Chains A and B, each alone.
Chain A
């Protein structure tokens, strides 16, 4: 008998009416570097989370110790906690619809077998590309992380499924110094494949930014048109929308998008969807963390709010079917609805055209603090670390240290003037470059 079967059997014998188990085995290789490799490590992590129901009383216990004794104890503890839990009137049952969507591109054999030497050589090249770009550039920090995971989900109804997935993420920062001036550059890329990362592009963009921003300064405040680079807007999209489109937020009244299904909340140039099956997507997989098949779900279609994202619990609460969006952020966390690949559908304009058509504005390449934006009110706040003043259709001097602010929900209704063609991801958030008609800029 497998440990999963043992845990489920034990839970049922202790009085559970249902049980669901999630078992994860993951190997991560993580390398940190600056001008040289700073650290290199491997992590082998085992863990399981057991969820039990006693009627409508639910509990979970998880442990990293995967042996028979601990698994039995886990089942006992989970049942014990369930006994003291209050009934959740909305509880129906654990996911009972198992299956695989036709999703491709979430596992890379090459990543699994990558030799440590090849990783070191690649990163050595990244450092060299940056230094060769300009003698003033110094790589200050980088992180490469590769993980290979195996996930098994089973329940007391006899359903079971298993998947393997790989991820690679790389993040680099460099600085450039000259006399009293200092500029920094940061770039990142995330993919399912070794080949999905363009290390050279990453290195050169980082170096270029650091050099260009040697002379960056704040600028006077005001209200101006703003062009936001794809990856930066992808981050904003994720920060603002992930919560409000989560069915759990909607049902609890926390979402500003509650009661707005079917209504026009954006101009018809805006289409946003979630797609757990997108080929090679950062969070693509055939089934979610409850074993439910993934799918493509329209969230905003031509400006109309179409759907929220559900896991089994939130879906059954409304008598609906899960959209396959159950995620466990870590194996020990209970599943929650969360976007898989959240995508703002691209249109036709290129960033160059947007700049050309701007008389006066800012082009934003990098921000910090965008995650301070408030998803409930929709208020966007971010400090621009890498921006350019745009004048008469041309990129002019670099700008840093100004705060942009605006309201996302107002932007949807007309503020997003142009949506670009250059779709790119920041983790699971995908966006093209966009031009915003006007944002408030707090400067010097």
Chain B
């Protein structure tokens, strides 16, 4: 980032204060992104882009104004500042308060061995192409899509309080999706693996067998049945545990949703919200998760204990919700990009492991389902009621303590607080995930997140399917 922009932004923040603002900050971001897509052995697209711009936030007479622009000329920046001021003036409500926060000054870089944007286009295409070719393991495979995603994100933050931070991080990964058709039944299995790392991560893994494994699973799933709908004892794999916690519990623990009253966790601080085996953490930097040392309001993101032994200990906060709750900010004020204001978001959200081996989790189950995340299509939640629905991947029936046949089209649903209370065993194997191919959406903003947990056993889970 040029010194020129740093000094332009410093001036912009000063001008905001001179215009009568009590607080001003400016965030510059430059995001490079490459996505290589190979479909059915053809390089479908190699898209490469750069997005950069500035977001300006000001507080004036207690009202908050926000404006952003990708026009980085002096006129463009001034127009954005004026828009922010105009908004703050039209708002008649005092809504812009921020809690006290330590003023941080730091420049942080994720350390990588190989910058993925320095690797030749040829090499990146050939890795993606080879993985795609490896997916065609039989005539039953009807379609295969492979993607290589690379992201480099640089963020700079400066505030009228004196904070000045920059964070540079990389996120890269490979995703693959196979569609199989067996006896007229088609099944789609998408899966990906990503890491905050340099290109060495891509070099270290055998993506050809990664893709062919997905094809195998798709064929197996297409040839299998859906489970009979009902309520079962289930064992849930780390990916689904992470997804479930993040979507159905994590969002409900976000301070803004709690204070607006739409979270099912509203008013539950200090109360039991899960089985006593459950401890839930949100943490800025965890192996396998997303790298997030500071949030987009300049607050350091450390380890936040949300649930300890089943008791709700705290919520996640940005500086606004921390003020409302009269607590310290937890470093969860995150923005998708410069076009968006920071809002309360999770970072790396996970359940702490305990002591069960996987075999011990399933051995006592007479009839149940081993719910698996590989091939999951996503989920949705109503945070107000805590209801969730997830389309999970091809899963396994558990019969008399053994994993037996595969089932497809499995949909799990329930009320999160009831589900968490019926957890009667927690495994020892913590696994985290993150993804360069999308992330978590909230109020129109998508941010990369990490989530995970160990295997767990849930006594009652509603399973749909057909």
Contacts and interface: CB of A to CB of B under 8 A. Distances in A.
B76 interface: yes
Most chain A CB neighbours (cut-off 10 Å) among B39, B64, B186, B389: B389
A85 B125 contact: yes
Interface string A75-107: 001001100111010000000000000000000
Given A44-B80, A77-B48, A140-B384, A173 B70 contact: no
Interface string A244-286: 0000000011101000000000000000000000000000000
Contacts of B91: 37, 40, 120
Given A120-B90, A368-B382, A44 B76 contact: yes
B93 A84 contact: no
Nearest to B263: A140
Interface stretch (B19-27, B50-58, B147-155, B278-286): B50-58
A47 to B, nearest CB: 7
Contact of A403 (B80, B120, B229): B229
A439 B290 CA distance: 41
Most chain B CB neighbours (cut-off 10 Å) among A44, A47, A141, A256: A44
B305 interface: no
B261 A381 contact: no
A228 B53 CA distance: 44
A123 B188 CA distance: 43
B259 to A, nearest CB: 9
A135 interface: no
B43 A86 contact: yes
Contacts of B45: 58, 60, 334
A42 B87 contact: yes
A43 B260 contact: no
Interface in B338-366: 339-341
A403 B52 contact: no
Nearest to A378: B186
A143 B384 contact: no
A50 to B, nearest CB: 10
Interface in A24-72: 30, 32, 34, 36-47, 49, 58-66, 70
A42 B186 contact: no
A148 to B, nearest CB: 14
A47 B33 CA distance: 15
A138 B179 CA distance: 45
Interface residues of B, number: 78
Interface string B371-391: 000000111111011010111
Contacts of A64: 50-53, 70
A235 to B, nearest CB: 12
Contact of B389 (A38, A47, A49, A383): A383
A117 B68 contact: no
Most chain B CB neighbours (cut-off 10 Å) among A38, A43, A61, A333: A43
B121 interface: yes
Interface residues of A, number: 74
Interface in B95-154: 95, 120-122, 125, 129, 142-143
A41 B229 CA distance: 46
Contact of A39 (B52, B66, B122, B179): B66
Interface string A376-406: 1101011101000000000000001101011
A374 to B, nearest CB: 7
Contact of A372 (B70, B71, B187, B389): B389
B121 A38 contact: no
Contacts of B466: 379, 381, 405-407, 440
Nearest to B86: A116
B385 A182 contact: yes
Interface string A116-148: 110010000000000000000010110101000
Contacts of B84: 42
Nearest to B42: A88
B70 A41 contact: no
Most chain B CB neighbours (cut-off 10 Å) among A42, A65, A117: A42
Contact of A47 (B46, B70, B72, B384): B70
A400 B52 contact: no
A81 B48 contact: yes
A442 interface: yes
A199 interface: no
A221 interface: yes
B298 interface: no
A254 B39 CA distance: 11
B93 to A, nearest CB: 5
Interface stretch (B160-168, B237-245, B408-416, B425-433): B408-416
10 nearest A-B pairs in the assembled complex, by CB-CB distance = A369-B389, A442-B229, A403-B464, A372-B391, A41-B66, A140-B262, A64-B70, A383-B389, A62-B49, A116-B90
Given A372-B377, A374-B377, 10 more contacts: A39-B64, A39-B95, A41-B340, A143-B444, A145-B444, A253-B179, A377-B185, A381-B464, A385-B385, A385-B387
18 contacts: A39-B66, A39-B95, A41-B65, A44-B68, A44-B80, A59-B46, A61-B47, A140-B261, A141-B262, A184-B384, A252-B39, A368-B387, A377-B409, A381-B409, A381-B466, A383-B413, A403-B389, A444-B231
